[in-house]
Structure 1
Amino acid sequence: MMDGNEATALVAHKTNEVIAIYPITPSSNMGEHADAYSAAGQTNVWGTVPTVCEMQSEGGASGAVHGALTTGALTTTFTASQGLLLMIPNMFKIAGELTATVFHVSARSIACQALSIFGDHSDVMATRQTGFALLASNSVQEAHDMALIAQAATLESRVPFIHFFDGFRTSHEVNKIEILSDETIREMIDDNLVFEHRARGLNPDRPSMRGTAQNPDVYFQGRETVNPFYEKTPAIVLKAMKKFAKLTGREYSLFEYVGDPKAERIIVAMGSGAETIHEVVEYLNAKGEKVGLVKARLYRPFSAEHLVKAFPKTTKSIAVLDRTKEPGCAGEPLYIDVRNSIGEALENKAAPFTHWPKIVGGRYGLGSKDFTPNQVLAVFENLNQDKPKNHFTVGIVDDVSKTHLELGESVETGDPKTFSAMFYGLGSDGTVGANKDAIKVIGDHTKNNAQGYFVYDSKKSGSMTISHLRFGEKQLRCPYLVSHANFVACHNFSFVEKYDMLKNLKTGGTFLLETEYSKDEIWDKLPLETQQRLIDKKAKFYVINAIKLAESVGLGNRINLFMQTCFFEISKILPRDEYMKYLKEAAKKTYGRKGEEIVKMNWKAIDMAVENLFEVKVPAKATAKTKLKAAMVLKSAPKLVKDVLEPILAGKGDDITVGQMPLDGTYPTGTSQYEKRNVGIYMPAWDIETCIQCGMCALVCPHAAIRTKVYDPKLATKAPKTFKTCKAKGFKEDLGFTVQVAPEDCTGCGACVSICPAFQKDASGKKLETKAINLVHKDETMRVNEAENWDFFLNKIPDPDRALINLNTIKGTQYVKPLIEFSGACAGCGETAYIKLVTQICGDRLMIANATGCS
């Protein structure tokens, strides 16, 4: 069990001598794996440990690759998106010099109207002119296999390769694969070709010059010398694929046809989306529909001959799907290539059919937009029309240009016996790591095929994560999110208040909830919609107070192993004694480097989980008085917040139409003030008696969720009952002072507690561990009271007169309202506190430029 990045890195490390790396999401893990292999002394198939060097930019990495290749070393790199674009100048040189190499790319969006760290083919399509061959993998297994096929092909052809697969959807999907042995890898690589590659390297024993300048009289001719190499490359790749099939039994082709041999409607696609189409084609074929799929693997050099031979003679209509957008073009790249190839084949009487089929193109899946079976069904339905829509989009609603195809209801096209599960967790609570371990246990210790995919949003550790697990006896061709779940788990109770997380639960499914409420109390705490879902779906319902248990064994908010154990107990996928054994082995592997004590804490968590898991009897009638809350505070919010941002935060971003989006990616500032995530399990409590009013707690808060104010003490007479106030220190005037926390914005990171210099003392004057600020467990009563106090503090107490404030002191700066607040930074982030302080010192006469990334 491994993800696409690891599957690729394994082969890359085995077949190279130099690996130049620079991290960029989602390819970074490949470099990390390769670095770890070399650090552990693992060798390539020739018995040497590859040299892994981390450069200072992607341009530096590609330059290092070019240099190492020029000496005759077998060299590779890993990259994506803007990182790949920065390599393009070197790629032209590498290809122009006919130098064998493979760049492994987890294909990712390019930042256009906005940054997207997620997957599509925008980056690799921008390299079409470089002269690199482009070889696509559709799954984790294919990423492993094609990495080797590309290496064999580049050495024989002398054409450099980009081996690419979909960022996140393949790079981060954990799947059960067959690992290539060193013997198979050695069989695939011809040592004579390696020696020839070496011999072409610059060497003082065989001096030569490369990288000359050519004038107008000869440059054109020199550019055309490469033609024979590109003409031979498709046959060389096919030869490598056939050799690979003999060695492993896994067969591949340049263009692979799947479907009814007499199909009339065909889709052409490459990447993970082809696997979804494959599943739907089998589903429709079983229903008697004559449909098919052509999977494109070798995209450059593009072999029109092999493409047209892949189509059945009965083909009447073709839809070509591109996972990229090229504004202003006659069509996206794969569509144009397919259309042109069929046209030339018909002219030359080389096509399997005698008449022009209807050929349309469409875009799908940009920025990792989920590509689902009902979208594939919509594409096939479009091909059924007398005049199919061309240049369409699928998976969105385009109410501006009207390009979209209408979708039907969500359909389950996979094996109905496949078990599917969804786990809602909070970034940094261990949910994702635990589910990776869980799916590996299932894949490694049962006969099931298994798949795990993990959805994060850009807020990382401060936001919701959703883990999608599947396992079953049949092959899993489902690189899309679970929408029909047998099991749903919620690891943070605040999510239940805002998200309809049971909408994807199957009838008769199971819901597991982490909560501080007992099995007898919990029903009355659920929103009306959640209660009704449980009733309508005849669901089984379980609860566990995992936070309390985690605190009791010293794990803080790390509830992952409690929830993971409950999943195995409820699902019955393995007997209890077996899954307990495997979970403990996984825990030791994961936490062993942190020490035996940490391992024993996690083992204790596994042991305690089952006895503290309780089933809740679902009543026959929904009785709740509360409904699901809006994801943002909408009172007085701008229209964009109400119409666009709130649905996005509520998990309904897929319903946003093109017309609702800002034209050029420009948004108003300050919208985070309307978002109340309420994800913190703990929050700071202020002790008036111990506080020295230094302002350090407010200074270090990454989210500006703890603040100080001085004010006319008369204002406090109108404050809520639980509002805290005391006399301000260090002022001539008689002023009130308050430290106030925003309970629904605070993530409970504890940075304020760590920095606080004021310790409480006992009656004898001895220093205690507690301070003027201390983390306490946040219950519902505290949240409501402190939310009321925060509203009063923010809106009823004015910001202090600047004449009273000394901005040359930390204390003084913290009386000024920060102009960057409630950021999406991870809990405890050290960077946002600095930028917040700059706004407090400089005010709004400030321009800030920052690199892309977590900001």
Structure 2
Amino acid sequence: MKTKIFATIDGNEAVAQVAYRVNEVIAIYPITPSSNMAEWSDTWASEGKPNIWGTVPTVVEMQSEAGVAGAVHGALQTGSLTTTFTASQGLLLMIPNMYKIAGELTPTVFHVSARSLATQGLSIFGDHSDVMAARATGFAMLCSASVQEAYDFAAISTRATLESRIPFLHFFDGFRTSHEVDKVETLSHEDLRSHIPEEFIFAHRARAMTPDRPVLRGTAQNPDVYFQSRETVNPYYLACPDITQKAMDEFAKLTGRQYKLFDYHGDPEAERVIVLMGSGCEAVHETVDYLTSLGEKVGVLKVRLYRPFDTTRFVEALPVTTRNIAVLDRTKEPGASGEPLYLDVVAAIQQSNPKSKIPNLKSIVGGRYGLSSKEFTPAMIKAVFDNLALAEPKNHFTVGINDDVSHTSLEYDHDFNIEADNIVRAIFYGLGADGTVGANKNSIKIIGEETNNYAQGYFVYDSKKSGSVTVSHLRFGPQPIHSTYLITKANFLACHQWDFIDKFSMLQDIVPGGTFLINSLYSQEEVWQHLPLFVQEQIIQKQLKVYVINGYQVARAAGMAGHINTVMQVCFFALSGVLPKDEAIAAIKKAIRKTYGKKGDEVVQKNINAVDMALDNLYELNIIPTEQSQSPIPSP
């Protein structure tokens, strides 16, 4: 039996690992949140890391995304296997070349960490505004919903584009997937090579422009031929869904992970179904499991291949018992009769003779969610299902905001929570560039590599980045984690910066009896007196276990100046119980040697000293009744 290979990586690195190995030319121009894919590729090329054919890809940075698209188009015309990475306005600058690439039936994959477009304001965060603006280019569009899917679909889209000759836009949610760290199963060079038949590569090479085989491309056409020529691509687009499904089936034989163009999950006799794509699928998947366990007849239909939209497969994927459908779009098209996915679903149902396929269908409504990475939680998902249960479901709604202008929003229960008790849920408050995020990424890797647990990490950055607050959300558990939303019921919470104590109502997100770790500047006798009264009251009311360390003092004593990340990481492992303490310490030291080995033995030894000293300086706080403490400080 083949040994499984696991890695604990984020979505950007997952995609880059595949894209780098199955291409020969990579044109880049970094734009948030896709930059890491370009940076990984550039790093690997500079290190001489080979692709699956034993050659080092040529990575070239252009002066704009428009230049990148031109470089990709040119490289493809030479018969090279070529890719790029982009998002948001960067993708829009590529659209003119994308029309040409698709019109010439040239196989390539653009990997897009989907991001908001600048409208009333600029946003670096994720939704589907950018990819929806590119849907008329003729690119096939394949959407992945998780880090594992992003890895897998990078391979599947490469296989499908080479056979179909339709260029692919493989997209996934910016930040929510691109920057989420998960434990994923990876592919060896041999696996990737076996997945991409060389006959399709040779066919691509044979279409290269060369003086040895002259062809005419890029002409100007008049009305007598343009229309007819434009219609000649139809057979290729009609064949694309079948080819993509075949690529998915072959991938399943290789890995055991089976995907479909439209994946249904839920009660086989569901009456209410949500249709969507992207990371929101994971949260709906989790919520459907919870609601069906209570006897509700609900389900979710996950859209994988959005273009070409296979109306037959879509309708066949719906339960025949479906009565009400809610289609969720992560974008807004002002002035349209509905958002893009909603309109496609309505058209697919209309064209399918719904009375024979879905005889009980009563309504199809559309809604918008998650623009600019706005939270999309089980509570909101339940509200969508509840809306479908009404005699007249609200159409063209929003969920996740309070729309007090045009009153489109659905009400939802903010306290509704479905997270399992066997999942360790930890939140860490840190300062941008203080090492907290890096330490947490190391913790996820340790747990992912040293245990059988699944691990997930998501990091909330302020758009000002360095010097601003960062909030890390980590989950660990024995089952796959579908929770693509922030933790609101943590059983472990750490504050790495004392100044944050009275600036954020962080203890509202910890469960009663949870563990609270504080990095304090004060002595053991002084800590309680310096805590704001509202924090003291929450600690007592929730019966929290509070642990304190002066991380700065320990770091300085270990020779690490103000770098507290290693110190606080040790405390987390000591208190969370994710790993036995001795195993955790050994794993941390192993990670230190791997992470800092290139910086020299002195740096490694300082970090190891910090590990050894941390537990000696960690203590449980003696909680004093509120009336004996300081004068009140108002809650922020």
Amino acid paired to 2:393: P
Contact (CA 8 Å) 2:366, 2:396: kept in 1 or not?
yes
Conserved? CA contact 1:540–1:618, under 8 Å:
no
Which of 554, 568, 587 is residue 549 of structure 1 equivalent to? 554
* Paired residues of 2:533 and 2:626 also in contact (CA < 8 A): no
Larger radius of gyration: 1
What is the CA–CA distance in structure 1 between the aligned matches of 2:121 and 2:500, rounded to whole Å? 27
Indicate the SS of the match to 1:586: helix
Q: Is the 8 A contact 1:136 1:270 kept in 2?
A: yes
Q: Secondary structure at the match of 2:427?
A: strand
- By how many angstroms is 1:506 displaced? 0.8
Provide the residue aligned with 1:417 in structure 2.
Answer: 422
For structure 1, the 5+ residue unaligned runs are 631-855
Structure 1 segment 648-687 matched on structure 2, within 5 A = none
Aligned pair partner of 1:58 in 62, 65, 80? 65
Cα distance in 1 for residues equivalent to 2:564 and 2:345: 51
Q: Distance in 2 between matches of 1:571 and 1:302?
A: 46
Letter in 2 for 1:177: V
Deviations 1:805-827 (A, max 9, x none): xxxxxxxxxxxxxxxxxxxxxxx
Task: State the AA in 2 paired with 1:505.
Answer: I
Q: Residue in 2 aligned with 1:626?
A: 632
Unaligned runs of 5+ in 2: 1-7
Instruction: Write out per-residue CA displacement over residues 4-29 of structure 1, whole angstroms, 9 at most, x where no aligned residue.
Output: 11111111111111111110011011
- Could you tell me how far apart the structure 1 residues matched to 2:118 and 2:593 are? 40
In structure 2, the residue corresponding to 1:421 is in which secondary structure? strand
Equivalent residue, structure 1, for 2:264:
257
Counterpart-to-counterpart distance in 2, 1:496 and 1:98 = 58
Structure 1 residues 361 and 263 mapped into 2: Cα distance closer, same or farther (>3 Å)? same
Alignment of 1:770-809 (within 5 A): none
Residue from 120, 135, 147 that aligns with 2:142: 135
Give 2:237's aligned residue: 230
Between 283-292 and 524-533, the greater mean CA deviation after superposition:
524-533
Residue 529 of structure 2, aligned match among 505, 524, 527: 524
1: CA distance, partners of 2:57 / 2:310: 34
Q: Structure 2 counterpart of 1:307, which letter?
A: F
Tell me the TM-score normalized by structure 2.
0.97
Query: What is residue 391 of structure 1 aligned with on the other side?
Result: 396
Q: 1:705-744 CA distances to partner (integer Å, 9 max, x unpaired)?
A: xxxxxxxxxxxxxxxxxxxxxxxxxxxxxxxxxxxxxxxx
Deviation of 1:455 (Å): 0.7
1:621 offset after TM fit, Å?
Answer: 3.3
In 2, Cα distance between the equivalents of 1:468 and 1:367?
Answer: 19
Residue 538 (structure 1) aligned with residue 543 (structure 2): yes
What TM-score comes out, normalization by structure 1 length?
0.72
- 1:359 aligns to 2:370 (yes or no): no
Which residue of the partner structure matches residue 90 of structure 1? Answer: 97
> For the Cα contact (< 8 Å) 1:283–1:414, is it kept in 2?
no
Matches within 5 A, 1:533-612: 533-612=538-617
Does residue 81 (structure 1) correspond to residue 88 (structure 2)? The answer is: yes
Question: Which amino acid in structure 1 is aligned with residue 572 of structure 2?
Answer: F
Give the counterpart letter for 1:404 in structure 2: S
- Structure-2 residue corresponding to 1:403: 408
- Once the two structures are TM-superposed, the CA of residue 618 in structure 1 deviates from its matched residue by 2.2
Amino acid at match of 1:558: H
Q: CA deviation at 1:352?
A: 2.3
Residue by residue over 1:672-711, the C-alpha shift from the partner in whole angstroms, topping out at 9 and shown as x without a partner, is: xxxxxxxxxxxxxxxxxxxxxxxxxxxxxxxxxxxxxxxx
Q: Secondary structure at the match of 1:240?
A: helix
Q: Secondary structure at the match of 1:468?
A: strand
Deviation of 1:628 after TM superposition, in Å, equals 3.9
Structure 1 partner of 2:289: 282
Whole-angstrom distance in 1 between the partners of 2:127 and 2:415: 23
Aligned to 2:513: 508
Match of 1:450 in 2: 455
For each residue in 1:754-810, what CA deviation from the matched residue of structure 2 results, as whole angstroms up to 9, or x when unmatched? xxxxxxxxxxxxxxxxxxxxxxxxxxxxxxxxxxxxxxxxxxxxxxxxxxxxxxxxx
Distance in 2, Cα, partners of 1:629 & 1:241: 53
- Distance (Å, rounded) in 1 between the aligned partners of 2:470 and 2:588: 21
Aligned amino acid, residue 444 of structure 1: E
CA distance in 2, matches of 1:172, 1:376: 23
> Is 1:271 paired with 2:307?
no
Correspondence for 2:21 among 6, 9, 14: 14
In the alignment, what sits opposite 1:171? 178
Q: Secondary structure at the match of 1:499?
A: coil
For the residue of structure 2 that corresponds to 1:299, the secondary structure is strand
Residue 127 (structure 2) aligns with: 120
- Which of these residues, 191, 206, 224, is aligned with residue 199 of structure 1? 206
User: Please, what is the CA RMSD of the aligned residues?
Assistant: 1.2
Aligned partner of 2:66: which letter?
G
Q: How many residues are aligned here?
A: 628
Residue 672 (structure 1) aligns with:
none
Deviation at 1:355?
4.5
CA-CA distance at 1:207 after TM superposition: 1.6
Q: Which runs of 4+ in 1 moved over 6 A?
A: none
- By relative contact order (CA 8 Å, sep 6+), the higher-ranking structure is 2
**1:661 aligns to what?**
none
Name the aligned partner's letter for residue 117 of structure 2. Answer: I
Choose which of 93, 104, 107 in structure 2 pairs with 1:100: 107
User: 2: CA distance between counterparts of 1:108 and 1:472?
Assistant: 30
Q: Residue 399 of structure 1: CA displacement?
A: 0.3
CA distance in 1, matches of 2:524, 2:293: 45
Return the offset for 1:279: 0.0
Shift of the 628–64 alpha-carbon distance from structure 1 to 2, 3 Å rule, reads farther
Query: Aligned to 2:185, what secondary structure does the other structure show?
Result: coil
Residue 142 of structure 2: SS of its match in structure 1?
strand
Query: 3-state DSSP class of the match of 1:123?
Result: helix
Contact 2:379 2:415 in 1 (8 A): yes
- Assess if the C-alpha contact under 8 Å between 1:27 and 1:106 holds in 2: yes
Indicate conservation of the 8 Å contact 2:492/2:515, yes or no: yes
- Alpha-carbon distance between aligned partners in 2 of 1:423 and 1:367, rounded to the nearest angstrom: 23
1:615 partner letter: E
